[in-house]
């Protein structure tokens, strides 16, 4: 499929509407930059907690994930206001996919744990939640651009 540029009356050249990998990639990077440091910090500080005696610091992890995916979706949606939800969802999927690849590989190699069907079901449900937060961020980017 050939990509053409459209010439506007003032002489500026613009690209036709289409998917922008850079916008989705920027959103994914924002997601990882916001979500992963708090998760890594909690993991480093509290990974030795005994079962049933966990610290409340673990509650920071889901909040960091939800905020991180929202920020990434906002960044992707802001960069492409003509198709914000598509780019926000793609940013969330790219970020989540990269983390899942690392997590599954680590689980198989380092921990020696098997990857079960239940594990994949949990990943799919978490993916749905994370991409939904990215979509919310993209929606907020549109609302902000429109001044609402």
pLDDT, tens digit, for every residue of 21-52? 999 999 999 999 999 999 899 888 877 776 77
Q: What are residue 6's DSSP bridge partners?
A: 14
Distance between CA 141 and CA 43 in Å, rounded? Answer: 31
52-70: per-residue pLDDT in tens?
A: 777 778 888 899 999 999 9
Per mean pLDDT, which range of 16-20, 25-29, 73-77, 108-112 is the poorest?
16-20
Which helix H or strand E contains 56, and what residues bound it?
Answer: none
Distance between CA 10 and CA 88 in Å, rounded? Answer: 30
Residues ≥6 apart with Cβ < 8 Å to 142:
77, 81, 84, 85
Average of per-residue pLDDT across 105-112:
79
């Amino acid at each position: 499929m050939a990509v053409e540029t459209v010439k506007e009356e003032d002489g500026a050249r613009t690209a036709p509407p289409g998917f922008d990998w850079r916008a989705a990639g920027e959103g994914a990077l924002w997601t990882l930059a916001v979500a992963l440091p708090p998760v890594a910090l909690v993991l480093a500080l509290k990974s030795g907690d005994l079962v049933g005696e966990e610290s409340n610091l673990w509650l920071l992890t889901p909040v960091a994930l939800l905020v991180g995916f929202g920020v990434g979706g906002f960044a992707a949606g802001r960069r492409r206001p003509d198709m914000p939800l598509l780019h926000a969802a793609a940013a969330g999927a790219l970020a989540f996919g990269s983390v899942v690849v690392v997590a599954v590989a680590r689980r198989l190699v380092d921990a020696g744990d098997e990857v079960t069907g239940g594990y994949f079901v949990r990943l799919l449900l978490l993916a749905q939640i994370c991409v939904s937060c990215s979509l919310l961020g993209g929606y907020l980017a549109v609302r902000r651009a429109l001044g609402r």
